[in-house]
Amino acid sequence: MSGKTLTKADIVDAIYEQTERNRAEVKNVVESLLGIMKQSIRKDHALLISGFGKFEAYDKKARKGRNPQTDETITLPPRKVVVFRLSRKFRAELNGE
């Protein structure tokens, strides 16, 4: 799979080109949306966007790891991770169903 990664600036540009708003307004709206998304994941550990998918945060326990350069065994600390699961509708669209 090849292609360019869509960036926040690309999203701002795309919305700017499709609306009557100026670039600064569009950037503020995109920043606000992302802030709301982050806050939801932080607070509720989940964010559901119908027809798109669900972001879920969960805790990973500490685990043993290995430094590949030195072969030294290390303990990786506990951490939070976020996973994204596609909605059935979006998955069907991606697979041409």
pLDDT digits 0-9 by tens, 80-91: 999 999 999 999
pLDDT for residue 69: 92
The closest alpha carbon to 45, from 78, 85, 83, belongs to 83
d(CA 71, CA 27): 46
The list of the chain residues with pLDDT below 50 reads none
pTM equals: 0.76
What digits encode the pLDDT tens for the residues 62-74? 999 999 999 999 9
